């Protein structure tokens, strides 16, 4: 079966101080339902909101509303849904305003039915692009179409069935010269034509019924950002980043007029007029303009354009209805402004009113000039608020405010073809300085900083507040108020180095943690560093994988559900086993002959060995941390030195008890009295690997030092081993090879194929059950669903509403294949089984993680204060070890090499870290500090870490008997303690506070 694209797991941490209702980031889309008085907004946080406006939007657009009514009406939050995990770029209403369609950068097109009686928060994906979806458009309501069109950066226009029937049409929009310039940024649909625009600067026209090309309109000089089509399908308005709006004739195939009232890139157009005689526009500077060209089609220079409002930043969307205008910006709030009545000239300044009355073009369906009494009831529009509609327009003439009356009349009567002397334009002053109402949003996250422990994150929100988050508890743990993020970071950060295991994304305004399969199991922490609510008994130096830990409890309810399903499946099989056992008992013999034993020395208890379980129980010990000799090349590892993986991928059956039994650093000492751990383990490795290295290994073992430390560390000094690969000489790493070899030998030719998904893990488990039933019909089947235990992953109580998202990589980014919550993953087991990746099933159901080579760090140990130097027999004094190795383990290594090991263990003996000290760059190292932390924060270099050990005088160190591997410090040729701390620095450093 073909492998799936790479999948990742994400979870979203909710802000405790946020409440439902409102956006956390900027708003990109607006749509208004005039029949029900509802405003819809779509934001960069992936949320769509519905607002009750408490306004009568069916009245004509005029600014003569009672001011008390404007103040009295307040918008109220109605409902919201969270359909997307990335920016919403556009929204539109469909099916008589009962459905809201959204287009998002998460590559999907979704529909929300806010009036649904079943579930008013449910959203359904009706389409998906291969890249960001930038725009969505619906055909006129009069044709009762059941589809919606969307365009995106994948250079496709797709028509989607609103009832979920999928794609009904696809149009490939390719750039003629550069394919990438075919991206669709603007889209509009009429009864029989569909228009798109983008970076190619060309408007392309298509037949929405067949997808055939109709024509193209060329004239813009930059990206086309918005398009409108009139009801007849003949007039098109297009707005561009070239600061112009063009009016096109489809039948004539030409540009009829170019509007230049804006001085910045134009981002949005809106019109409710069937003939586009009135339209609204907004630009990057925040200017919102209303343009009225009704009755002026023959001479558009006589049209009227007004500066309605000025936002604080660029307006990404503008809509209008019932005498009001709403604007969306990069802030989470939405502003409502009063509209301007352009049906009459009563509010215009006298010179303009006179000119428009005298103009033949003013004989349009507009109300007659009102009487003076009625005109004074409305505030006069300032001259500075009237925009020059184009470069060829006569009025407002440049400098008209300061002109004399005679000059003004001349300028107003001058024909547009005559040369006009350019004068500086007066500063534009919008009619409305403040909005009528602001629909407030919430505070979203803008910036973050991952701390050194990689378990906590600092964030800065739009209000300027700094929050500290716990990525494992899935909640904020402390608020620092309005401060600089860098100042708080210096206050709460720690000095430690943890491998990267996750990434943080703030694109939705929330804190989203992303787990990738290639590194989410890399980071580990020591269990004794945790602060848990309930005490848990851990082994010495036990480490916990952060990725495994959080996944275990994000999907805790799913694991419980899978255990129940596994029990039901095994119950059916065990019923058959019970029948087989009953049939076997019915045919059982009446007597049993016991053959004589041929076992010798059965009466000697010291010769007996306890049978060990063959992988039937779950036991996953913490991998050990052995110190090995390093080759002269930097970073190379000495083959033959057993070294487990930081996050061991081996199954419980593969690892058994070897970590506790054999490894000095794992803290275990349960070694049988009959055979040394080193010998037995290496012989087992040689046999399992099927190679003929046994003799070499035996000879190497014989050459190892006879000290207790030598046996515990399993370090050998034969130079022959330098040429071997680590897989031939280690204990745990070759097990991966063993597993593959065993599978190749024992797997049958007709082994069942499984899906490359979470379900595939369940299939493998059930195939094993079926195989066991066939091989041993009378043996009860025990579960093979073995999730991690609390001793390996301590219990986490996560907020039940924490969102969980499973995403899959696509050519244009990533697409969601599942979205749920911690509380509901158990109920969604069927979906997750089909959609989730196989590696997640391995982790959750069998506690297995992908194999990965451990990261090692090379270092050199030098003596100080007259202690003997360490030097192996082959003259190589470079060592290497796992990056998680602690200082106290290095000191234990030193102690067993520089002092006599007592024959009998002393119960009250001081541990090495109490009477030995380790220094790096003149700094005393804390016994709990890891090699990774030393290299990152103390050594601060990529070369071998140079460490110095010395005694602190709390114990007399008795050197061991002379041996070839121990060289006195004053011996000629012995390593010189260059760079060691001076006496003054020693006394200073020794009083330094230990770093945790």
Other C-beta atoms lying within 10 Å of the C-beta of residue 738: 18
> Pseudo-torsion of CA 68, 70, 72, 76, nearest 10°?
180
Asked if the model's pLDDT at residue 422 lies above 90, the reply is no
Of the ranges 19-23, 236-240, 620-624, 897-901, which one carries the lowest mean pLDDT score?
620-624
Considering only CA atoms, give the Rg of the chain: 38
Q: How confident is the model at residue 606 (pLDDT cuts 50, 70, 90)?
A: very low
- Of the candidates 298, 256, 291, 257, which has an alpha carbon nearest to the alpha carbon of residue 276? 291
Say whether both 133 and 169 belong to one domain: yes
Say whether both 193 and 51 belong to one domain: yes
Interval 490-546: pLDDT, tens: 999 999 999 999 999 998 888 999 999 999 999 999 998 888 877 888 888 899 999
CB-based burial, 100-116: b 16+ in 10 Å, e otherwise: bbbbbbbbbbbbbbbee
Parallel, antiparallel, or unpaired for β 186-189 and 167-172? unpaired
Asked if the model's pLDDT at residue 835 lies above 50, the reply is yes
Averaging pLDDT over each range in 627-636, 687-696, 897-906, which range is the top one?
897-906
Say whether both 153 and 192 belong to one domain: yes
Q: Among 175, 195, 218, where does a domain finish?
A: 218
Contacts 24+ apart (CB under 8 A), 717-723: 717/629, 717/872, 717/873, 717/874, 717/965, 718/640, 718/874, 719/874, 720/696, 721/638, 721/639, 721/640, 722/631, 722/638, 722/639, 723/639
Task: Choose between 548 and 301: higher pLDDT.
Answer: 548
**Phi, psi for 412 (deg, rounded to 5):** -75, -30
How confident is the model at residue 509, as a pLDDT? 87
How confident is the model at residue 538, as a pLDDT? 87
- Of the candidates 885, 794, 790, 788, which has an alpha carbon nearest to the alpha carbon of residue 531? 794
Asked if the model's pLDDT at residue 152 lies above 70, the reply is yes
Q: How confident is the model at residue 831 (pLDDT cuts 50, 70, 90)?
A: very high
Let me know if residue 148 belongs to a domain: yes
If one counts the domains in the chain, the total is: 3
For residue 917, what are the domain limits?
Answer: 856-901+910-951
Asked if the model's pLDDT at residue 234 lies above 80, the reply is yes
Instruction: Tell me: cis bond preceding 406? Omega within 30 of 0 counts.
Output: no
Let me know if residue 653 belongs to a domain: no
Mean pLDDT, range 368-387, rounded to an integer: 58
Task: Choose between 907 and 892: higher pLDDT.
Answer: 892
Interval 567-594: pLDDT, tens: 999 999 999 999 988 887 777 666 666 6
Q: Among 167, 183, 218, where does a domain finish?
A: 218
Say whether both 837 and 919 belong to one domain: no
Sign of CA dihedral 767, 771, 772, 774: positive
Q: How confident is the model at residue 695 (pLDDT cuts 50, 70, 90)?
A: very low
Task: Choose between 383 and 59: higher pLDDT.
Answer: 383
How confident is the model at residue 19, as a pLDDT? 63
Tally helices (H) and strands (E) across the chain: 21, 48
CB-based burial, 155-182: b 16+ in 10 Å, e otherwise: bbbbbbebeeeebbbebebeeeeeeebb
* DSSP string covering 815-876: EEEEEEETTTTTTTHHHHHHHS-HHHHHHHHH------PPPEEEEEEEE-TTPPEE--TTS-
Mean pLDDT, range 90-106, rounded to an integer: 95
How confident is the model at residue 633, as a pLDDT? 46
Q: How confident is the model at residue 3 (pLDDT cuts 50, 70, 90)?
A: low
How confident is the model at residue 361, as a pLDDT? 45
How confident is the model at residue 988, as a pLDDT? 30
Task: Choose between 900 and 660: higher pLDDT.
Answer: 900
Interval 206-233: pLDDT, tens: 999 999 999 999 999 999 999 999 999 9
How confident is the model at residue 391, as a pLDDT? 85
How confident is the model at residue 491, as a pLDDT? 95
Asked if the model's pLDDT at residue 338 lies above 90, the reply is yes
- Could you tell me the two tokens for 672? 């049988």
Mean pLDDT, range 827-851, rounded to an integer: 95
Say whether both 842 and 862 belong to one domain: no
Say whether both 860 and 842 belong to one domain: no
How confident is the model at residue 904, as a pLDDT? 80
Residues near 436 by beta carbon (within 8 Å), at least 6 away in sequence? 70, 324, 336, 337, 338
Q: How confident is the model at residue 746 (pLDDT cuts 50, 70, 90)?
A: very low
Interval 791-826: pLDDT, tens: 899 999 999 999 999 998 877 677 888 989 999 999
How confident is the model at residue 873, as a pLDDT? 55
Task: Choose between 753 and 976: higher pLDDT.
Answer: 753
Say whether both 801 and 942 belong to one domain: no
How confident is the model at residue 705, as a pLDDT? 40
Let me know if residue 164 belongs to a domain: yes
How confident is the model at residue 342, as a pLDDT? 84
Asked if the model's pLDDT at residue 379 lies above 50, the reply is yes
Asked if the model's pLDDT at residue 882 lies above 50, the reply is yes
Mean pLDDT, range 377-389, rounded to an integer: 79
pTM, 2 dp: 0.71
Say whether both 809 and 868 belong to one domain: no
Q: How confident is the model at residue 57 (pLDDT cuts 50, 70, 90)?
A: confident
Mean pLDDT, range 136-155, rounded to an integer: 92
**Phi, psi for 29 (deg, rounded to 5):** -130, 140
Q: Among 166, 196, 218, where does a domain finish?
A: 218
Say whether both 877 and 789 belong to one domain: no
Interval 246-264: pLDDT, tens: 999 999 999 999 999 999 9
Task: Choose between 834 and 640: higher pLDDT.
Answer: 834
- In this structure, what CATH number is given to the domain that contains residue 121? 2.130.10.10
Mean pLDDT, range 645-652, rounded to an integer: 36
Say what percent of the chain tops pLDDT 70: 71
Are the C-beta atoms of 210 and 223 separated by less than 8 Å?
no
Averaging pLDDT over each range in 54-63, 273-282, 976-985, which range is the top one?
273-282
Asked if the model's pLDDT at residue 299 lies above 70, the reply is yes
Round to whole Å and give the CA distance between 835 and 830.
9
Mean pLDDT, range 659-663, rounded to an integer: 38
How confident is the model at residue 415, as a pLDDT? 47
Let me know if residue 325 belongs to a domain: no
Say whether both 206 and 117 belong to one domain: yes
How confident is the model at residue 181, as a pLDDT? 79
Task: Choose between 152 and 958: higher pLDDT.
Answer: 152
Task: Choose between 319 and 865: higher pLDDT.
Answer: 319
Asked if the model's pLDDT at residue 719 lies above 90, the reply is no
Three-class DSSP labels, 726-795: HHHHCCCHHHHHHHHHHHHHHCCCCCCCCCCCHHHHHHHHHHHHHHHHHHCCCCCCCCCCCCCCCCCCCC
How confident is the model at residue 63, as a pLDDT? 46
Say whether both 43 and 104 belong to one domain: yes
Let me know if residue 137 belongs to a domain: yes
Query: What does the DSSP 8-state code read for residue 609?
Result: -
Let me know if residue 644 belongs to a domain: no
Let me know if residue 796 belongs to a domain: yes
Let me know if residue 585 belongs to a domain: no
CB-based burial, 570-585: b 16+ in 10 Å, e otherwise: beebbeebeeeeeeee
How confident is the model at residue 399, as a pLDDT? 47
Are the C-beta atoms of 185 and 197 separated by less than 8 Å?
yes
Q: How confident is the model at residue 358 (pLDDT cuts 50, 70, 90)?
A: low
743, burial (CB in 10 Å: exposed 0-12, middle 13-18, buried 19+): exposed
Reported residue count of the chain is 996
Are the C-beta atoms of 834 and 757 separated by less than 8 Å?
yes
Asked if the model's pLDDT at residue 333 lies above 70, the reply is yes
Round to whole Å and give the CA distance between 451 and 453.
6
Residues near 636 by beta carbon (within 8 Å), at least 6 away in sequence? 630, 858, 880
Say whether both 814 and 930 belong to one domain: no
Asked if the model's pLDDT at residue 479 lies above 50, the reply is yes
Mean pLDDT, range 743-755, rounded to an integer: 59
956, burial (CB in 10 Å: exposed 0-12, middle 13-18, buried 19+): exposed
- Of the candidates 597, 572, 669, 626, which has an alpha carbon nearest to the alpha carbon of residue 893? 626
Name the average pLDDT for the chain.
78
If DSSP codes are grouped into helix, strand and coil, which group holds residue 520? coil
Task: Choose between 25 and 984: higher pLDDT.
Answer: 25
Mean pLDDT, range 709-715, rounded to an integer: 41
């Amino acid at each position: 079966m073909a492998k799936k694209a790479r999948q990742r797991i994400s979870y979203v941490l909710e802000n405790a101080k946020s409440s439902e209702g409102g956006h956390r980031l900027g708003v990109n889309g607006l749509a208004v339902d005039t029949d029900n008085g509802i405003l819809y907004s779509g934001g960069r946080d992936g949320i769509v909101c519905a607002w009750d406006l408490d306004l009568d939007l069916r009245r004509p657009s005029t600014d003569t509303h009672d001011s008390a009514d404007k103040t009295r009406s307040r918008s109220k939050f109605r409902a919201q849904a969270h359909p997307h995990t990335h920016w919403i770029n556009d929204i539109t209403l469909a099916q008589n305003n009962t459905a809201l369609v959204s287009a998002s950068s998460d590559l999907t097109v979704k529909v929300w039915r806010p009036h649904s009686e079943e579930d008013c928060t449910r959203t359904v994906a009706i389409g998906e692009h291969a890249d960001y979806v930038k725009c969505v458009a619906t055909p006129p309501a009069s044709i009762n179409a059941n589809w919606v069109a969307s365009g995106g950066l994948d250079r496709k226009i797709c028509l989607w069935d609103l009832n979920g029937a999928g794609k009904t049409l696809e149009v490939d929009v390719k750039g003629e010269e550069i394919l990438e310039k075919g991206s669709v940024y603007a889209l509009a649909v009429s009864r029989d034509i569909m228009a798109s625009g983008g970076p190619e600067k060309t408007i392309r026209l298509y037949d929405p019924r067949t997808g055939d090309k109709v024509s193209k309109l060329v004239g813009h000089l930059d990206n086309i950002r918005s398009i409108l089509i009139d009801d007849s399908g003949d007039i098109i308005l297009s707005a561009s980043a070239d600061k112009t709006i063009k009016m096109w004739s489809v039948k004539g195939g030409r540009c009829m007029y170019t509007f230049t009232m804006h001085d910045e890139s134009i981002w949005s157009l809106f019109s409710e007029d069937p003939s586009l005689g009135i339209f609204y526009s907004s630009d990057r500077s925040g200017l919102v303009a209303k343009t009225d060209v009704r009755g002026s089609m023959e001479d558009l220079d006589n049209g009227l354009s007004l500066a309605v409002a000025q936002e604080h930043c660029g307006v990404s969307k503008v809509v209008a209805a019932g005498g009001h205008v709403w604007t969306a910006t990069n802030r989470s709030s939405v502003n409502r402004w009063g509209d301007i009545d352009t049906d009459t000239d009563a509010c215009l300044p006298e010179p303009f009113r006179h000119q428009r009355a005298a103009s033949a073009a003013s004989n349009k369906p507009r109300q007659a000039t009102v009487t003076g009494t009625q005109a004074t009831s409305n505030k006069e529009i300032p001259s500075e608020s009237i925009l020059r509609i184009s470069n060829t327009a006569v009025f407002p003439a440049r400098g008209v405010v300061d002109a004399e009356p005679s000059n003004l009349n001349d300028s107003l009567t001058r024909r547009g073809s005559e040369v006009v002397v350019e004068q500086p334009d007066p500063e534009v002053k919008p009619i409305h300085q403040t909005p009528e109402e602001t629909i407030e949003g919430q505070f979203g996250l803008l910036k973050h900083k991952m701390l050194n422990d990689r378990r906590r994150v600092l964030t800065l929100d739009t209000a300027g507040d700094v929050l500290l988050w716990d990525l494992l508890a899935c909640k904020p743990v402390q608020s620092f108020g309005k401060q600089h993020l860098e100042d708080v970071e210096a206050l709460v950060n720690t000095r430690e180095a943890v491998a990267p295991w996750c990434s943080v994304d703030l694109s939705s305004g929330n804190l989203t943690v992303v787990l990738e399969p290639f590194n989410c199991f890399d980071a580990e922490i020591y269990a004794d560093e945790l602060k848990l609510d309930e005490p848990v008994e851990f082994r010495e130096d036990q480490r916990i994988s952060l990725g495994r830990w959080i996944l275990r409890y994000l999907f805790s309810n799913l694991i419980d559900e899978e255990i129940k399903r596994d029990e039901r499946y095994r119950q059916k099989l065990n019923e058959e086993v019970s029948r087989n056992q009953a049939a076997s008992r019915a045919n059982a013999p009446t007597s049993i002959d016991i053959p004589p034993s041929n076992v010798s020395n059965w009466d000697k208890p010291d010769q007996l060995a306890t049978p060990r379980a063959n992988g039937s129980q779950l036991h996953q010990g913490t991998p050990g941390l052995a110190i090995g000799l390093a080759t002269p090349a930097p970073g190379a590892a000495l083959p033959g030195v057993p070294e487990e993986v930081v996050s061991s991928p081996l199954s419980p059956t593969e690892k058994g008890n070897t970590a506790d039994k054999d490894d000095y650093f794992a803290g275990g000492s349960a070694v049988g009295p009959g055979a040394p751990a080193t010998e037995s383990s290496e012989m087992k490795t040689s046999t399992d690997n099927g190679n003929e290295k046994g003799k070499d290994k035996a000879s190497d073992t014989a050459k190892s030092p006879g000290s207790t430390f030598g046996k515990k560390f399993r370090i050998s000094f034969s130079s022959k081993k330098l040429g071997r690969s680590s897989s031939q000489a280690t204990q745990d790493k070759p097990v991966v090879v063993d597993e593959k070899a065993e599978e190749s030998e024992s797997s049958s030719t007709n082994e069942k194929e499984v899906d490359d998904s979470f379900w595939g893990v369940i299939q493998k488990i059930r195939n094993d059950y079926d195989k066991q039933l066939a091989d041993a019909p009378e043996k009860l089947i025990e579960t093979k669903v073995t999730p991690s235990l609390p001793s390996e992953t301590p219990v986490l109580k996560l907020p039940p509403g924490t969102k969980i998202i499973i995403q899959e990589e696509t050519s244009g980014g990533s697409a969601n294949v599942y979205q749920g919550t911690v509380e509901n993953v158990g109920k969604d087991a069927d979906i997750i089984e089909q959609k989730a990746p196989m590696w997640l099933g391995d982790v959750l159901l069998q506690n297995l993680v992908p194999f990965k080579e451990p990261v090692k760090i090379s270092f050199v140990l030098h003596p100080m204060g007259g202690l003997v130097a360490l030097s192996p027999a082959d003259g190589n004094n470079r060592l290497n070890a796992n990056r998680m190795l602690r200082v106290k383990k290095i000191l234990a290594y030193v102690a067993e090499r520089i002092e006599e090991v007592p024959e009998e263990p002393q119960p009250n003996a001081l541990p090495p870290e109490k009477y030995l000290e380790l220094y790096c760059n003149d700094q005393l190292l804390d016994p709990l500090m890891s090699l990774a932390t030393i290299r990152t924060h103390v050594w601060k270099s990529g070369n071998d870490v140079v460490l110095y050990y010395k005694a602190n005088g709390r114990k007399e160190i008795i050197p061991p008997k002379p041996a070839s591997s121990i060289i006195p410090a004053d011996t000629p040729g012995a390593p010189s303690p260059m760079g060691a701390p001076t006496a003054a620095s020693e006394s200073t450093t020794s009083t330094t506070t230990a770093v945790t």
